[in-house]
Every structure is written in structure tokens, then in C-alpha cells.
A and B are shown apart, each in its own frame.
Chain A
Amino acid sequence: MTCTEFIALLDDIIDDSVAAETKAEVEKHMHKCGHCEVVFNTTRKTIEIYRSHQIYDLPNDLRERLHAAIMARCKKGC
């Protein structure tokens, strides 16, 4: 497996959806290629960080205000 082939499969590797026989090749490649191992680990970490530190959160007061405005108009039939 080359690095280019590894990167093409990266999403499937991260999502753990590669076929069993490909998985062995992926692991073999990562074992010998430090760069691909870094790309795999840091891409997975990127996802983890974005998932656990969600940006653009709605503060509760704004959320309540927007919610009330939506429901008031729905009750009037929009």
C-alpha cells in the first residue's frame, strides 16, 4: 500500500469501515510509515476536538427569545 492509497482510504479507516483484508494492509502500512500514522492520529483528533468543543452554541437567553418568536408566529398560523 502506498501513502496515496492510504489517504484515499483515510475516511473509511477513521470510520472503521474498511474490509478485513484491507485492514491488515492498512495496519502494515501505518506500522512502517510514521507520516501516515501521524496523519491518521491527528485527523481523528481533529474530529474529536470539533465534536467535544462545539462552536457556534446558542446562549440560553438568545435561544429562548428565538424560540418564543418562532412559536408565537406558528400559533398565529405563521
Chain B
Amino acid sequence: MTTLPPSPSNPNNTALALQRITKRFGAFTALDGVDFTLRPGEIHALLGENGAGKSTLLKIMRGLLRPDGGEIVCDGQTHSAFTLKDARTAGIGMVHQHFMLVSSMTVVENLALAEATASGALPGLEAATRERATAIAARLGWTIPWDNLVADLPVGTQQRVEIVRTLLGDARILLFDEPTAVLAPTETLELFRVLRTLREEGRSLVFVSHKLSEVMSLCDRVTVLRRGKTVGTVTIDDTNPNDLARRMVGSAEKHDLETSDAPAHPHPTEPAVTKAQPIVSFTKVSTKPRPMETALVDLTFSINAGEILGVAGVDGNGQAELIQIFQGLRAWQSGEAAFLGQSMRQMGVRERREFGVAIIPPDRHREGLALGLSVGENLALEATRQTAFRQGFWLRRRKLREFSQQLLTDYDIRTDRLSTLAGSLSGGNQQKIVIARALCGQPQLLIAASPTRGLDVGATAYVHRKLRERAAEGGAILLVSTELDEIVALSHRIAVLYEGRIVGIVPSNTPRETLGLMMGGKQVVGHG
């Protein structure tokens, strides 16, 4: 049981092949003609930003989602519809990002549950399962408390239970969806040891991640996905973190239309806008390390009036934490973050708004919009807090309606009326609501977090134009995005985040290769 016999039906050295896979969710194309080939006995990394389509691709391999186009070749058979049953026959097992365990049941019951659906015979099942599971765990060097409730186990142990479960089903192909996201560093090392063991047993592994260092240290080959397309597959020896980072966030060759019509960037050393104190300044700001988050370390930067500072970096390197500081949802431990010379520590969410800080939140559905309310109400969300729109106990409804109507026109939000539910608009129009609300108060500081996520070309161009206009009027903008194209097109200076630190602040005409290096963690002498 330590080594699997080579599968007889893979003459061309392929365990599983996906060809021209396309998957759409409504109007959104999650996967667009993706090719992916898994060889026997390799650990194959699937690398990409959030929303690149990694999980979707994995679910298709597992038979959980049905592709709209393309074929899956497995054991010499070509499937256009690959079902759960096909996947089980082919010996494909998956360790989900959110574990598929029944937390109110014991470990052995969970394992037996999977077995019961496969075999159907109940008597003696638990004992038999336990015996086989113990053998597997011993082989991997684990001790698992079989009789404990899953809910009582630490996350790392739950993951082991999941792995044992897939091995009980004798999976020859194991899919891991961001397995390290929930683990502490030491647990990650232990997981890697086991993954290598599984590879030596002849199994094929797909390892999804957006952490470059993990991919480099663990995997044999890597396929990079970007916006639902395959950027390429390379052997790990033929690549390096910088190359991978560049592939993930955008190719250097690709010429962005937006860039060409961009106004000439003022050179950062130009004193035109630096006469007064900076709008916002961070001095050695650090946050408390917490599990599953990236702690910010000694962030120092400042943004002047009329300036766009881009924050580049691979997702998960501290962007979310940085935005939360501005949102007032996260305190910092040491250092000082000041807005117009005043510490932001004392400012509540509402005071920040009043002082002129506006935020385009990274996830418009989660923090930006109340989808069950009307367009008008969403536009008025923050205005209702201003005294101009209330009269004692009352809302000045007519004035609010005029205000919303004005925004509707000014920001070209396409809806026939204010009473339309915000949830029924297209993503682009929803984002326009968020942007209208953020910009309408002429904010002195605008935090734009992934402002074009999920938008089409036209809507993206629109958002970019609005951000430029705001900067031209003298607003300071912090642009946080994982799209390097966007950062380069809009920013005057670029700060690169890596593992919670600013690797350097460089002018926007810095070559992409250099930016790629910095995003991989390499220090470059910055002159920002």
C-alpha cells in the first residue's frame, strides 16, 4: 500500500487532463478555455489571485461543478460532463478550504460516514474504519484522537482528518484548496512533509495557493491562472518567485489602453503639491500579529494633496489590514497614523467621514451596499447622517431624493429609477453607487480598495477617470489593488507590500521587472 501501481491507462504520462475548460456564472466568466495537465506523482501548484478561478477549476476536477465547455481526460476516457461518480471512480479526493466535516460527530464517525456512503454495510463499519484509518495515520506519522468530537479539534488536526478521509477512499489524485491558509507556520511545514510523502507513494497532488514561497518550496510544476485564463505552466526549476508574481498580477508586455490616455504623471520629486503638510502620514505603524492575518510592520509613508499612492503586492500581504486601519475597524499597536496632522487613533468611523476620509471598500457586497434596499437609499446611506438632510426627528426626504437623483445623473448610474433594488443592478452600476457615495463629499483622502474588481472594461475606465479627476482636484488617494496594470496606470508613486512590510516606494515609471522583484520580497533602493 506504500506505492501505487502505475495506472495502466495513462500512456502519455498524464493522470488527469483538462482541456479548454470554460465555466460561466451568469454573465461572469470564471474560467475561459483553461488547459491543465496533471502528471502522475507530481505536486502541481495552481497559483493565482483571489477570483482567478482556482477553486472553480478544482471543483470541476472533483466533479462538483459542471463545465460549460471543454473536456476532461481521465484514465484514457474523455468526459464532457465529469460527475462526482466519475471523479470517485477515477480516485480523485479533495481537501476543501472549509472542511467538509460534521463538527458534532467524532472523528471516527466522520470517517465512517464517508465509508458508509461508499459501501453501504453498517455493522462493524466503525471498527473497520478505525483500523484502516489508524494504519494510514501511522504511515503519515500522525496520532489522531479518533473518539474526540471534530468541533473540539484544532484546525490543523481537522485538516489531517480530511486528508485521512480522502486516503481511506484510496484517492490517487488529491486536490488541496489553499490548505495552508488555516495553518500556523510549523503546521505548514508538517503538512508539506506529508504532501511529499504522498507524492513518493505515487499519488498526484494539486496544491492551490497564492503564496509564492510555498509553491517554490513544495511543488514540481506550477500553472498560473489570471482572471480565468491560463497564463502558463512551468517547471519549478525554470522559474522564480519574481517571475511567478509577475505572471499572477499581469504581464509586462500587455499594454493597457488606460495608460496611453493617462495624463503625464508629475514626477514625485516635483514640489508642486508638497508645499503643505501631507494629507496622511504613517510613521512606523505596526499591528499586533493575529492568527491567519498578516501583521503590518513599521509602515512609513505619506500622501500629499493631489497624489495617488498605489499599494501593489500579491494579495494577502497586509492589504486588508492596511485598509481596516483607515476604516477604523483595526487599531494599531505602535507608531503613528495621522490625518491632516491629527492622530487617527481618536477618530471614530463617523468623525473620519466628517473630516473628509472616504473609502471604497474592497468588497462592495459585504461593506459597500445594502442590496435589499433601493438605489436611492444606498446613495443616501451616508448623507442621512448629515444635519443638512435631517430636521429634528425627520429625514428631509425630498432633499435626499434630489441629492440621490443628482448623483444618479452625475455618476451615470444606469437605472430607470431610484426605487430599484440595488441588488438588481449590474456589478458596474453597483460599484458606481459606492464610488458616487465616496466621491460626492469631495474627500480630502480617498482609500480606493480594488475599485475595479469584477468590472468590465468600460466600467473600469470610468472608475479610473473618476479617481484621476479627484486627484486633479487636490484629493489624496491611496489605491490598493492587486492589479499591477491598474496601479501603474493611475499612481504617482507605488509602495510595494510584502509580508506586511513596505519593501520600497518607487515612482510609477519603475520597470515592471523591478516591481515584480519587489513583490517577491526583494529590497530595491526606493527614492520615494
Partners in one complex: no
